[in-house]
């Protein structure tokens, strides 16, 4: 049996939710008996999942302990091959009794740790994280950048293994109504620039808007599609108004896999430009993998782990973080050069197609059992 302990899971929306749900499905498809212990409230949606799942919706400190208590009891009476925790928080109260524990590290939880010896709260939290990580037989970092952060915490480097996140690729038939909806959005627009990300300050939408405002004269029919949800939408709208670009932006909110796939394929460039500061760092960037998998050029910045997701000069370009001039120049480079976009798209498919989909990625986890 494989136990997955996670705070984030289907039907929640987000990168870690997709990661943990895709992983559980992939283990099950490879003949493993999977039992998921997840935060949230049970619903009919759980019944369609091909594995056992138990939900915990108590107050956060209680549910973490209760979840661990039940897992600890189960491993005493059942043969469990592996426990995978979505973060140090899900592993904090687990007992490592003859069971291999894998803890996932995403980067952001470590970046929020900068502290001084005088900051007692931060020092206490660092000790909690290290105690939890020390229970792990293996710590899976989502990028080389996150691996370096872990080493900076003095985590045993022999425990760390870099495994990039997997992705559930959509290869089914797209319904006519979805096709018509997307066609209506993009009709008469060229070029089409896309950002797939939660609407947060750190995702860099404002920088993209400023860069595109400088290119609007050259590309009067450009369309900037923003797909995602979040509390930062009003800030993005105000910024777009100040740069006279709101009429060239389409907000789609959350989109499902068929919509996402078709929107990506209709785009000329997928871009995300997190800015300066630890709160802005993107530790990997699954959206870039989505873009490359569908043959679209990508553009990111040189902080965090984006260089693991974009092969600079091969599948896309990497701009200097926070440098609006460089971001503008590199967006223009890609949009103005059809042969470059085709090269990046072709290389992107080759880079991702046999590596990132879960049917391939799960092998890296199976090898850890």
H/E segment holding residue 329: helix 324-336
Give me the domains of the chain, ranges plus CATH numbers.
2-163 (3.40.50.2000), 176-352 (3.40.50.2000)
SS3 99: coil
CB-count exposure of residue 97 (10 Å: 0-12, 13-18, 19+): exposed
DSSP string for residues in 250-307: EEEES--HHHHHHHHHH-SEEE----SSGGG--SS-HHHHHHHHTT-EEEEESSTTHH
pTM: 0.92
Measured between alpha carbons, how far apart are the two ends of the chain, in Å? 11
- Measure CA 144 to chain center: 15
- Buried b / exposed e across 189-216, counting CB within 10 Å, b at 16+? bebbbbbbbebbbbbbbbbbbbbbbbbe
CB-count exposure of residue 126 (10 Å: 0-12, 13-18, 19+): middle
pLDDT in tens, the chain (369 residues): 999 999 999 999 888 999 999 999 999 999 999 999 999 999 999 999 999 999 999 999 899 999 999 999 999 999 999 999 999 999 999 987 789 999 999 988 887 665 555 566 677 788 899 999 999 999 999 999 999 999 988 899 999 999 999 998 777 778 888 889 899 999 999 999 999 999 999 999 999 999 999 999 999 999 999 999 999 999 999 999 999 999 999 999 999 899 999 999 999 999 999 987 656 678 999 999 999 999 999 999 998 999 999 999 999 999 999 999 999 999 999 999 999 999 999 999 999 999 999 999 999 999 999
Enumerate residues 6+ apart whose C-beta is below 8 A from 83: 2, 3, 4, 5, 71, 75, 91, 94, 99, 100, 101, 102
If we measure between CA atoms, which residue out of 243, 248, 258, 256 comes closest to residue 226?
248
Q: At what angle do helices 257-266 and 176-186 cross, to 10 degrees?
A: 40
């Amino acid at each position: 049996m494989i136990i997955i302990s996670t705070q984030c899971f289907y039907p929640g929306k987000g990168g870690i939710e997709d990661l943990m749900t895709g992983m559980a499905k992939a283990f099950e498809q490879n003949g493993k008996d999977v039992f998921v212990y997840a935060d949230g409230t049970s619903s009919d949606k759980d019944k369609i999942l091909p594995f056992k799942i138990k939900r915990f919706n108590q107050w956060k400190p209680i549910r973490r302990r209760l979840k661990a208590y039940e897992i600890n009891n189960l491993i005493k009476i059942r043969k469990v091959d592996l426990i995978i925790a979505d973060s140090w928080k899900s592993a904090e109260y687990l007992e490592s009794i003859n069971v291999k524990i894998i803890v996932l590290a995403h980067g952001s939880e470590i970046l929020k740790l900068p502290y001084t010896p005088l900051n007692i709260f931060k020092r206490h939290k660092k000790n909690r994280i290290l105690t939890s990580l020390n229970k792990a037989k293996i710590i899976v970092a989502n990028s080389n950048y996150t691996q370096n952060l872990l080493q900076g915490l003095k985590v045993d480097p022999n425990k760390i293994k870099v495994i990039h996140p997997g992705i559930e690729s959509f290869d089914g038939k797209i319904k006519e109504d979805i096709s018509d909806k997307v066609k209506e959005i993009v009709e008469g627009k060229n070029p089409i620039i896309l950002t797939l990300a939660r609407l947060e300050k750190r995702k860099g939408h404002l920088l993209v808007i400023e860069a595109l405002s400088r290119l609007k004269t050259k590309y009067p029919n450009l369309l900037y599609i923003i797909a995602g949800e979040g509390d930062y939408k009003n800030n993005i709208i105000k910024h777009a108004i100040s740069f006279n670009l709101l009429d060239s932006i389409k907000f789609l909110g959350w989109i499902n896999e068929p919509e996402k796939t078709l929107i990506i394929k209709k785009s000329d460039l997928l871009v995300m430009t997190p800015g300066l500061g630890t709160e802005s760092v993107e530790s990997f960037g699954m959206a870039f993998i989505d873009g490359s998998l569908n043959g679209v050029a990508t553009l990111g910045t040189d902080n965090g782990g984006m260089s693991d997701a974009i092969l600079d000069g091969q599948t896309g370009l990497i701009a200097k973080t926070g440098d609006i001039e460089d971001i503008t120049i590199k967006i223009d480079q890609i949009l103005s050069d059809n042969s470059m976009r085709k090269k990046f798209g072709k290389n992107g498919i080759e880079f991702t197609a046999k590596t990132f989909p879960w049917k391939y990625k799960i092998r890296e986890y199976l090898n850890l059992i």
